Structure 1
Amino acid sequence: MNEQGGLIGVLAVVSYVVFTLLFMGVVRRLLGVRVSFLRTAVATLVAIWVSRPLLDALVGEPVLTVPSVELGLYLTLLGAFTFVVAMVLIVLAELLVPEGTLPGPFDAWRSWRARMTRSGRYVEILRIATRHGLGRFLRGRRHLALGTVAERRDLARSLRRALEDGGVTFVKLGQQLSTRNDLLPRELIDELVQLQDNAAPVDWEVVRGTIATETGRDPGEIFRELDPTPLAAASVAQVHAAVLHDGRKVVVKVQRPGIEHDVDRDLDIVARLATTLEGRTDWGHDVGLVDLADGFSAALREELDFTIERDNMLGVAAALDGREGIVVPTPVRGLSGPRVLVMDRLPGLPVGSAQEVLAALGPQRRAALARTLLETVMDQLLESGIFHVDLHPGNVLVADDGTLSMLDLGSVGRLGAKTRQAMGHFLAAVGTGDSMAATDALLELVERPEDIDERNLEQALGVLILRYAAGGSAEGAAAFTSLFALINSFHLGVPPEVAAVFRAMATLEGTLRAIDPSYDLVTEAKGMGRERMAGLTGAARLKETLEQEVSGLLPVLRRFPRRVDRIADAVEHGRLTANVRLFADPRDRQIVTHLVHRTLLTVLGATAGMMSVVLFSVTGGPMVTGTVNLYTVLATALFVVAVILVLRVLIIIFRREEP
């Protein structure tokens, strides 16, 4: 007896599950949109549980022991009522808690773990900020005690030290912010440019293991000599001197272990902070903090992949082919991977610490070196399109013979042909003082808002050009700051690749001054811009451009006479017509189709509802049972149809999805 009861219970559960799955499929089909399995299952179970008591309260419970027409009508009405209740529950759930706003169980678990990790990092960041005296600025108040230059410098010094203690992500963030003269005051910029990306060296055995893992070979099989003491140790990687078995002197750049996890965690914090500030502050929205954070994240993640730096070195070297006096390292093929990079060891010292070498070269040679470096960057910006974005004094070596070397190409910028042309036009227009042409070129470089006063922009840019027309070795930073302020005041969006150009030029100025303190970046850049644009429009270049254009137009020119003859013949015989296809774009047809579908659903639902009301009010007529007539059955069916159609329209509206 117990076994029979257990079997009946199992069959009941199985039938209940099958019945629930059937209901779920029908409900999702009637709604016309995809609803999550969990939400549909819960709505269906609740509907099955509450439908019969509700229906019994409305129409009364029939005698279920005797098969009859009344029992059949009751069961049919119960099924329809259950469908309607399930759909109503889903629509209400969509109205109160839209689909996707609540994570699933696995997503919730991952989110909880990530939140706990971020919370620990938040506490650590707050501890660092408090240790450096920045805690009072985290309370959300406006501080009036920063009105003097000395107070702002103290704040900038504390911020720099806090960023250095924050780790690689915040050091890199501070270095990027140091180029944004349009966002930060001068005191902050002066401190942030001094950020030092130093870190304690990694244990040699860990470095050796990383090299073996990435190359698949023991370091002793690759290098004849490998110095365990690093030449430099930064928060991303450290560099060791080595010699290959063929006598080639190289350096080995090894990424610090676990750095990717730390960077991902901190970049997530930066992105969340940028989203919050852009949503809650006017200045955050104006400068586009989310886009800035996204660009910073992409650049930093590129820097963590040494294969990108390897490819960048090859690309920049190809662009420098034929230029004397400046080189980039050559990577060793087969020994470089995502976390280990082996490249030539170039002679020389960083410009920032090579004053004795520069002094020995003499003033004329130093001016020539500065011009070589600027010409190289201008060629990269206006011709090759691939350029070094971070040529600070530590990334440029100068040898005893005056040869310059560009290092650390983990992050480079790339410009398309149109952007390069607009950049050249802008520099050439600034060089000639043509504010109208400079305005047109600037608007091609930036993302212009829908409403912009071009006349005022042209006047403001003209004043800026006149202000810095004379140039001067001390005017470069002020010119870039004024240009940034102008762009920001007219709410012009700066694309990431153009922002990288401004960053590169602002960073390059400090390096040029370290090479030659009297070098005039503004004047030289304007002159080089004019020279290059003149070269692009010279006779030889115009001939080449004309040949390219004609070769592209040749197929069109060949077909042109025949097409003109056909048009003339059609005009002569009165057969010329013009056909215009309405809604030729599939997107237009889709929009109209969806609008018509929604309108039809709404009209049909309203019509069925009104017909059901009319039929409910009709008395008499053919009787289906002793108490229910045919009109009541039809009215009930129409009412169910009306409810289903209206609910389908509502769910589409709430979900903002197309049926």
Structure 2
Amino acid sequence: MWFIGFGGAFAVIVLPAILGRRMLGMDAGVLRVMVAAVVGVSVSGTLIGPQLQVRGPLLFSLMVGVGLLTAMVCLVVLDLALPSGGMRPLGWIPSVRARLSRARRYSEIVAILGRHGLRPYLTGRARSADGTRHAHLARELRGALQAGGTTFVKLGQVMSTRRDLLPEAYVEELSHLQDQVPPAPWPAVEAILLESLGAPTDEVFSEFDREPLAAASVAQVHAAVLRDGTRVIVKVQRPGIREAVDRDLDIVARLARTLQVRADWGRSLGLTELAQGFAVALREELDFRVEARNMTAVSRAAEARRDDSVVFPVLCGELSDDRVLVMSRIDGTPLGQARPDSPEHGRKLAKTLLTALLDQIMYDGVFHADPHPGNILLLPDGSPALLDFGSVGRLDSGLRSAMAGLFLAVDRGDPVALCDALLEVTDRPEEVDEQRLQRALGQFSGRHLGHGSAPDVAMFTALFRLVAEFRLTVPPELAAVFRALATLEGTLQRVSDGFDILDASRSYAAARFARQLESDNIRGTARDEMMALLPVLRRLPRRLDRIGGALEEGRLGLNIRLLSDARDRRVIGELLSRVLLTFLGIFFGALGAQLLSIGGGPEVTPGLGLFGLIGYHLLVLSAALVLRTVYVLTRPLS
């Protein structure tokens, strides 16, 4: 008889938890099920066990039901407390140190925000700011980000390019953030080089300068000479930077979620999406293989256009990996320290850099997204060279064509064309008042694009304000374009004082359209379009004949298949199942309460009638269904 007792114990302890997991639709591990089973049997045994001994075995089913309900509640609580899915024995121990480190770092960041008077903005209780207070808050925000370290400095640098989201005071203040740190100790750098190169530096290079040429928070660069005499630059990632960035990105994501929930301005800016995009970009910057691909793509695109106005470094791919990047050395002076020989040379250099960037944007679809003075060298012959391809933007052909239309609409000052171009390059909401947008753009054109008006940065700032007012979303690819142009504007002002980047961009767009209207280009475009339309034109007469015949014979019909997509059917099915479960839970609960209130019926145990026993079972079933409904409602429709 021992196997009967074992089977009964297994059924009483484990079966309620397994049934509870199935009823909840939860993917729970074995250990989690066992914990829920023990809790369920303990509670049901405490509540129903004594009654079972007094009133007989007919209450056994009620005991199982209470155990099932308790196990379900335990599974939900465990899922909320440990949402990783699947408890592993002692699996949490390796992450304790990382959790404690993240908690300490989080408290450090909160303390920094408190020292700079920014803590009220985490709770959404801060009062609105006027112009003077905006300037003060911008200075405090800059100081807090600078004190936060690498990740937060880079976050501020990205925020300084979002004129469509931030007031001008913040853009101006955050643009002064500097990313300069002392060099990393040589033993730690040497360990990374040894691991990446597979050999000591003395074996790979004939010369290697241990003193870095420059050091930043992500990497530092060293001068070296290969065995064949080629002079190169070795870019080495700072030791421990990945772990620090991952920890800080987690904090940035948590702060973004908090602000989006608690603060109206956080919701209006879409901070969660911005934080996710920033995290992706920064993690790509930490992978030097991405930078190597970017460098190759930009240089090859320039070669395909036969453009040698800008010099690019040559990658040494066999010596590069995700943490070390080796490239040819270009001798020159950083543009921030160089001065052109004459104003004419300065204007020519500025035009060369602007044309190179616009060609990358409009023709190549891959462009240098961070052309600040430190990333541009002035060579002895006066030509520029581009460095550091960790931040590169990419545009598809459709977005490039739409951007050209936007530049042309700005050049013509046409509010109708500007409205169409703006709606084409932005992500529009479901409903947008195009007439009101067109009137607002008409006022914008009259103020900034009329005769005698000189285009300036305020023009694009006003345009971005319109974008935010009408809830149009600038795609990340387009934001990278304006970030690059805004960065290049400051760079070109150093080269040629008074250089008008917007006026030059308008002229560039007009010249590009003029080149497209040349006879050779028109013939090529027409030929490509005809080749694409030729298969459709071949099938068109046959299809028209079929439609005409069906119409003549009265057989023409329109067949519309509702819910033909399996995903739509799945969503509708899940929604109906939720509604049905909710209805059944309410129905069983009401019926059970009614049976308990009327009592009576044949006496099944001393002091308990049949109607009462059924009522208790219905209440347990109702609670289980309601718990299932509440749990499912916290999960999105698939």
Is the pair's TM-score, using the shorter chain for normalization, greater than 0.5?
A: yes
Q: How does 1:273-422 map to 2 (within 5 A)?
A: 273-321=255-303, 322-355=306-339, 358=340, 360=341, 362-422=342-402
Name 2:104's counterpart in structure 1.
120
Shift of 1:425: 0.7
The alignment yields a C-alpha RMSD, in angstroms, of 4.0
Preserved CA contact (<8 Å) 2:33 2:75: no
Specify whether residues 24 and 291 from structure 1 end up closer, same or farther in structure 2 by C-alpha distance, changes over 3 A only: closer
Tell me how far apart the structure 1 counterparts of residues 23 and 109 of structure 2 sit (CA, whole Å): 52
Preserved CA contact (<8 Å) 1:397 1:404: yes
Q: How does 1:504-523 map to 2 (within 5 A)?
A: 504-523=484-503
Pairing 1:80–2:80 present = no
Specify whether residues 653 and 432 from structure 1 end up closer, same or farther in structure 2 by C-alpha distance, changes over 3 A only: same
Tell me how far apart the structure 2 counterparts of residues 608 and 257 of structure 1 sit (CA, whole Å): 62
Counting matched residue pairs gives 623
3-state SS of paired residue (1:352): coil
Tell me how far apart the structure 2 counterparts of residues 435 and 235 of structure 1 sit (CA, whole Å): 45
Tell me how far apart the structure 2 counterparts of residues 604 and 195 of structure 1 sit (CA, whole Å): 60
Q: How does 1:522-561 map to 2 (within 5 A)?
A: 522-561=502-541
The equivalent position to 1:210 in structure 2, one of 192, 206, 209, is 192
Shift of 1:427: 0.5
Shift of 1:452: 3.0
Provide Cα deviations, 1:234-287, integer angstroms capped at 9, x if missing partner.
111111111222221111111111111111122222222222222211111112
The equivalent position to 1:260 in structure 2, one of 242, 249, 252, is 242
Provide Cα deviations, 1:492-513, integer angstroms capped at 9, x if missing partner.
2222212111111111101111
Specify whether residues 379 and 28 from structure 1 end up closer, same or farther in structure 2 by C-alpha distance, changes over 3 A only: same
Preserved CA contact (<8 Å) 2:336 2:374: yes
Shift of 1:648: 3.4
Name 2:13's counterpart in structure 1.
20
Tell me how far apart the structure 2 counterparts of residues 487 and 264 of structure 1 sit (CA, whole Å): 32
Preserved CA contact (<8 Å) 1:473 1:517: no
Specify whether residues 590 and 238 from structure 1 end up closer, same or farther in structure 2 by C-alpha distance, changes over 3 A only: closer
Name 1:5's counterpart in structure 2.
none
Deviates most, 81-90 or 270-279: 81-90
Tell me how far apart the structure 2 counterparts of residues 290 and 575 of structure 1 sit (CA, whole Å): 54
Provide Cα deviations, 1:2-41, integer angstroms capped at 9, x if missing partner.
xxxxxx9x99789735642234334444566556656654
TM-score by length of 1: 0.82
3-state SS of paired residue (2:243): helix
Preserved CA contact (<8 Å) 1:274 1:290: yes
Specify whether residues 289 and 107 from structure 1 end up closer, same or farther in structure 2 by C-alpha distance, changes over 3 A only: farther
Preserved CA contact (<8 Å) 1:126 1:135: no
Whichever residue aligns with residue 654 of structure 1, its letter is: Y
Name 2:70's counterpart in structure 1.
89
Provide Cα deviations, 1:610-633, integer angstroms capped at 9, x if missing partner.
69959x98968xx9x99999xx87
Shift of 1:174: 2.5
Name 2:557's counterpart in structure 1.
577
Tell me how far apart the structure 2 counterparts of residues 575 and 123 of structure 1 sit (CA, whole Å): 74
Whichever residue aligns with residue 427 of structure 1, its letter is: F
Pairing 1:231–2:213 present = yes
Deviates most, 370-379 or 14-23: 14-23
Name 1:68's counterpart in structure 2.
none
Tell me how far apart the structure 1 counterparts of residues 434 and 505 of structure 2 sit (CA, whole Å): 25
3-state SS of paired residue (1:319): helix
Name 1:171's counterpart in structure 2.
153
Tell me how far apart the structure 1 counterparts of residues 29 and 189 of structure 2 sit (CA, whole Å): 48
Specify whether residues 159 and 602 from structure 1 end up closer, same or farther in structure 2 by C-alpha distance, changes over 3 A only: closer
Tell me how far apart the structure 2 counterparts of residues 82 and 34 of structure 1 sit (CA, whole Å): 25
Specify which structure has the bigger relative contact order, considering alpha-carbon pairs within 8 angstroms and separated by 6 or more residues: 1
Tell me how far apart the structure 2 counterparts of residues 263 and 33 of structure 1 sit (CA, whole Å): 33
3-state SS of paired residue (2:381): coil
Whichever residue aligns with residue 578 of structure 1, its letter is: L
Name 2:223's counterpart in structure 1.
241
Tell me how far apart the structure 2 counterparts of residues 371 and 465 of structure 1 sit (CA, whole Å): 26
Shift of 1:647: 3.2
Name 2:414's counterpart in structure 1.
434
3-state SS of paired residue (2:346): helix
Tell me how far apart the structure 2 counterparts of residues 288 and 598 of structure 1 sit (CA, whole Å): 30
Preserved CA contact (<8 Å) 1:99 1:655: no
Shift of 1:137: 4.6
Provide Cα deviations, 1:280-328, integer angstroms capped at 9, x if missing partner.
1111111222222222222211111111111110000012111122022
Tell me how far apart the structure 2 counterparts of residues 172 and 201 of structure 1 sit (CA, whole Å): 18
Provide Cα deviations, 1:526-561, integer angstroms capped at 9, x if missing partner.
111122234345443333333333323333333333
Provide Cα deviations, 1:213-247, integer angstroms capped at 9, x if missing partner.
11112212222221222111111111111122222
Whichever residue aligns with residue 82 of structure 1, its letter is: M
Preserved CA contact (<8 Å) 1:160 1:192: yes
Name 1:568's counterpart in structure 2.
548
Tell me how far apart the structure 2 counterparts of residues 45 and 475 of structure 1 sit (CA, whole Å): 73
Specify whether residues 258 and 567 from structure 1 end up closer, same or farther in structure 2 by C-alpha distance, changes over 3 A only: same
Tell me how far apart the structure 2 counterparts of residues 603 and 351 of structure 1 sit (CA, whole Å): 71
Tell me how far apart the structure 1 counterparts of residues 287 and 37 of structure 2 sit (CA, whole Å): 50
Tell me how far apart the structure 2 counterparts of residues 429 and 269 of structure 1 sit (CA, whole Å): 42
Preserved CA contact (<8 Å) 1:94 1:651: no
The equivalent position to 2:426 in structure 1, one of 411, 436, 446, is 446
Specify whether residues 88 and 478 from structure 1 end up closer, same or farther in structure 2 by C-alpha distance, changes over 3 A only: same
The equivalent position to 2:465 in structure 1, one of 485, 490, 503, is 485
3-state SS of paired residue (1:253): strand
Preserved CA contact (<8 Å) 1:94 1:654: no
Deviates most, 242-251 or 312-321: 242-251
Tell me how far apart the structure 1 counterparts of residues 405 and 353 of structure 2 sit (CA, whole Å): 21
Preserved CA contact (<8 Å) 1:223 1:244: yes
Preserved CA contact (<8 Å) 1:413 1:497: yes
Whichever residue aligns with residue 406 of structure 1, its letter is: L
3-state SS of paired residue (1:326): coil
Specify whether residues 348 and 98 from structure 1 end up closer, same or farther in structure 2 by C-alpha distance, changes over 3 A only: same
Specify whether residues 235 and 577 from structure 1 end up closer, same or farther in structure 2 by C-alpha distance, changes over 3 A only: closer
Preserved CA contact (<8 Å) 2:455 2:503: no
Provide Cα deviations, 1:144-203, integer angstroms capped at 9, x if missing partner.
999659x947x7666555544432212212222222334555555444333332221223
Preserved CA contact (<8 Å) 1:43 1:86: no
Provide Cα deviations, 1:27-85, integer angstroms capped at 9, x if missing partner.
444566556656654554454445467557778835xxxxxxxxxxx53x334212321
Q: How does 1:30-49 map to 2 (within 5 A)?
A: 40-42=33-35, 44-49=37-42
Tell me how far apart the structure 2 counterparts of residues 373 and 303 of structure 1 sit (CA, whole Å): 23
Preserved CA contact (<8 Å) 1:351 1:396: yes
Tell me how far apart the structure 1 counterparts of residues 260 and 581 of structure 2 sit (CA, whole Å): 40
Shift of 1:135: 3.6
Whichever residue aligns with residue 14 of structure 2, its letter is: L
Name 1:423's counterpart in structure 2.
403
Question: Which structure 2 segments of 5+ residues have no match?
Answer: none
Question: Which structure 1 segments of 5+ residues have no match?
Answer: 1-7, 63-73
